[in-house]
Amino acid sequence: MEEKLIIFMHIPKTGGTTLNSIFRNSFSENEIYDHIEIEKMSKQYNQLSEAEKKAIKAVSGHHSHGVHEIFSRPYTYFTMLREPVSRVISLYYFLKNYPGYYEDNMRNMSFEEYIDWDPQAKNGQTLQICGSIKNLNVEKAKENLKTFDVVGITEMFNESLYLLKKNYGWDNVNYKKKNITKARPSLQQIPIKTIKKIEQQNQLDIELYSFVKSSLTNRVNLLSHTDREEIKKINAN
């Protein structure tokens, strides 16, 4: 049986940059497409020889479900979700100072205006997993999640990471946190009206996150004592 292509769906501000640094270390440069824009990746892949195509083992990036169609081979996904309100707060304060398009457009943009302006701030996690705005609903997202080996959550990062290590046979999963949004207030400092607006705009993400968290918790609860001890050994620098 042909080896499955492993696709890391990197949802922004879920701890994905940290996770990707662990993931890509499992592959040589010619075995992984790491955060390459989809049209460019498709063009590059189609120009490879059959032997070079077979050498590709992994893909990672901010791709939506459906990117596997480029490769015409068996595949599996994994991803990480985050509590939706915290994620949108992190997005706003991260992108506000991100050079180029976002910084230029968001320089004088309030948080409330940002929520209306950026598609990522409105059920962005569900949208990425559904793969299309036309199919944007929780049931479609849950259906697509059946093609994922592991769906973790940021709030249970080490448990999620251990399940990935166990599933894919990764070696060293100790990590250094990357791409952290430092200049952001705490949840308690965000006005209630802003939090309410985020919740209103992210009802699908809230439902999907709850579903994933419940499934992950059940999966972790079934782990052995030895597994639980291994999780405790994972170090974050």
Q: pLDDT tens for residues 24-46?
A: 999 999 999 999 999 999 999 99
Under 8 Å between Cβ of 38 and 63: yes
Classify residue 6 by its DSSP letter: E
Distance CA 45, CA 33 (A): 9
Quickly list DSSP for 31-88: GEEES--HHHHHHHHHTS-HHHHHH--EEEESPPTTGGGGT-S-EEEEEEE--HHHHH
Among 35-44, 64-73, 113-122, 185-194, whose mean pLDDT is lowest? 185-194
Under 8 Å between Cβ of 107 and 228: no
Question: For residue 183, is pLDDT > 90?
Answer: no
184 falls in which pLDDT band (50, 70, 90)?
confident
Question: For residue 95, is pLDDT > 90?
Answer: yes
Question: What's residue 9's pLDDT?
Answer: 98
Among the listed residues 75, 204, 205, the one whose alpha carbon sits nearest the alpha carbon of residue 147: 75
Among the listed residues 152, 179, 178, the one whose alpha carbon sits nearest the alpha carbon of residue 165: 152
Distance CA 193, CA 95 (A): 21
Q: Where are the domains of the chain?
A: 5-233
214: which 2 tokens?
């419940």
235: which 2 tokens?
């170090």
Among the listed residues 160, 175, 154, 152, the one whose alpha carbon sits nearest the alpha carbon of residue 234: 175
Residue identified by tokens 């701030």 is: 121
CATH superfamily of the domain spanning 5-233 = P-loop containing nucleotide triphosphate hydrolases (3.40.50.300)
Question: What's residue 78's pLDDT?
Answer: 98
